Structure 1
Amino acid sequence: MKGKRRQRRPDCMTSVVQQLFDTCKAVFAEGTAGFIPPPEDVFRIRSILDRLKPEDVGLSPKLPFFKNIDARRPSPITYLHVYTCDEFSIGIFCLPPNAVIPLHNHPGMTVFSKILFGSMHIKSFDWVAVSQDSIEPCRVVLPSGERLAKVKTDAVFTAPCETSILYPSSGGNMHCFTAKTACAFLDVLGPPYSSPERNCTYYFDHAYTKYAGMSPLDLGEGEGEGEGYGWLQERTGQPEEFLVVGAKYRGHNIVED
């Protein structure tokens, strides 16, 4: 009928990618740094991502950007842009074997990461902060600038596995990915990186024992000489060994209202 508004198909007929977009649009409507979705909204996004499959986003391990081009050089990582706005972004990283996304942070963000296929090692940290009497928690920073962080995750993950979530100050806000096999993962960032207020910072990871004698923090007994901690040192700019190229996203399209 003319003039009749077209109705959106029910969720059972809507692609998982469209459901993800619609849910993120509602959950991250505020779009402010430091915003943490309530548990029920975290569950909504996570449950959609846990159902997401490589074919939903047009991926297959047989695609050329999952192969090593030159063993003598760092393998380029391919990024597929799915969607971005001021409130959130959706994107996919495609890693050939042994490719590395260096240790980096997510300032003021909540991030959902879903491994679509393959295996990768993930190491993540959260900053260590200590309270001094009634004063707000302060950072444990050395005179040379290294800052103490506690390891949140240090393990290999293989698809299918649950979606991981990090928050502005917990959950492993700084993380590094190393591809054990060809692999791909989808990221939802809320809000996304934005210059200059939410720039990405990269870090070197030093063992706790390297500066243990200079630490003002008493880790107490049973910590294994600082096992589970590290000193993170800021790097200038994007690491030269981190090579990213773009490619066209060929999965299910997103329809905006």
Structure 2
Amino acid sequence: MVEAGGLVGPQRNDSTTMTVRHVSNKVRYVSKTIKKTRHKRRRDHHHHVVPRVPKVLQELFVGCREIFKGPGTVPLPSDVNKLCSILDEMKPEDVGLSRDLQFFKATSAVKGTPRVTYTTIYQCDEFSLCIFFLPATAVIPLHNHPGMTVFSKLLLGNMHIKSYDWVDPVNSKDSMPPSQLRLARLKADSIFMAPCDTSVLYPTTGGNIHQFTAITPCAVLDIIGPPYSKDDGRDCSYYRDHPFSAFSNGESAVVSEEEGDQFGWLEEIEVPENSEMDRIEYLGPQPQIIEPCC
């Protein structure tokens, strides 16, 4: 169900619903007591009203199940276009969000570094559907997506995105000291404002290493295939970027001075403190899981 207040969960016998609001610069679910109006009940008291699943959300879910084939695979260009066409049409209301949420109206200054909150709509071995909530000035630090294809749809807000690709993606990080600088090509360094087109990154192209910085409170829907898995070698690494001109590492022969601003040096770092996130339960519309017939 979608109300002006935001995400609303199924009604329970204690006349309570669960909704979302902005509390202490985080998105949280809180209890809200409502009054029930007595109506004459039908004899068929076993009848249940199933919340309507937005068509575009169901199409997105079905598309993901068809497109993502597991580790070591990348969706075909035609499948990427199909998924992008669905995502480009998505609105906040399709995942139970409302522009009227206090979170997206917050204008007061936040002391310290605001934390990012996320919720998972669905996850399996092949892909995951997640929403990230970033208060104004919040940052998801520069990080990578090893072996993954990621679709990002900015649902609400204004966000600065900076992304890189390795110049030499074949050069495995396993053969390099963690502190060694590695050359990367700048793919994006721009402000995105919702609604905007879907961004896609691939295992070695499209800006696989990226950073999000919220200018206003933001909500971004991410589809990640396959999801992070430390056990399967898809752990997240974090980086600090340095201007190309700051170091001379023998690369000036292949990168001219005029091209220098299109490159940067990335240094792998320990997990930064501002990478920690708060997780909340997803109570928006749930896509219907329909198993194929045998």
Coarse TM-score class (shorter-chain normalised):
0.7 to 0.9
Output the TM-score relative to the length of structure 1.
Answer: 0.84
Provide the aligned C-alpha RMSD in A: 2.3
Matches within 5 A, 1:24-173: 24-28=64-68, 30-33=69-72, 35-66=73-104, 67=106, 71-129=110-168, 138=171, 144-173=179-208
Contact 1:74 1:243 in 2 (8 A): no
Shift of 1:14: 5.6
Q: Which residue of 2 aligns with 1:8?
A: none
Q: Which residue of 2 aligns with 1:17?
A: 57
Q: Which residue of 2 aligns with 1:236?
A: 270
Larger radius of gyration: 2
Q: Does 1:195 align with 2:233?
A: no
Contact 1:123 1:153 in 2 (8 A): yes
- C-alpha change, 1:138 and 1:203, in structure 2 (3 Å) is closer
Q: Does 1:254 align with 2:287?
A: yes
**SS at the partner of 2:273?**
coil
Q: Percent identity?
A: 48
Shift of 1:70: 6.8
Shift of 1:248: 2.3
How many Å separate the matches in 2 of 1:242 and 1:220? 32
How many Å separate the matches in 1 of 2:85 and 2:129? 16
Q: Which residue of 1 aligns with 2:220?
A: 185
Shift of 1:69: 8.2
**SS at the partner of 2:188?**
strand
How many Å separate the matches in 2 of 1:203 and 1:138? 16
How many Å separate the matches in 2 of 1:247 and 1:142? 37
- C-alpha change, 1:64 and 1:78, in structure 2 (3 Å) is farther
Deviations 1:24-73 (A, max 9, x none): 00111x2123x211111111111110111001111124435554787221
Which amino acid in 2 is paired with 1:255?
A: Q
Contact 2:114 2:138 in 1 (8 A): yes
Contact 1:61 1:182 in 2 (8 A): no
**Greater RCO (Cα-Cα under 8 Å, separation 6 or more):** 1
**SS at the partner of 1:17?**
helix
Deviations 1:66-114 (A, max 9, x none): 5478722111111011000000000000111111110000000111000
How many Å separate the matches in 1 of 2:131 and 2:108? 20
Which amino acid in 1 is paired with 2:245?
A: T
Structure 1: runs of 5 or more not aligned: 1-12, 131-136
Deviations 1:154-185 (A, max 9, x none): 10010111001000000000000001111111
Deviations 1:197-243 (A, max 9, x none): 100111111111121x223452344635x211111111123x11233
Deviations 1:137-167 (A, max 9, x none): 6479799511110100010010111001000
- C-alpha change, 1:183 and 1:215, in structure 2 (3 Å) is same
Contact 1:61 1:183 in 2 (8 A): no
**SS at the partner of 1:169?**
coil
Contact 2:156 2:219 in 1 (8 A): yes
Q: Which residue of 2 aligns with 1:5?
A: none
Which amino acid in 2 is paired with 1:164?
A: S
**SS at the partner of 2:64?**
helix
Which amino acid in 2 is paired with 1:88?
A: F
Contact 1:106 1:168 in 2 (8 A): yes
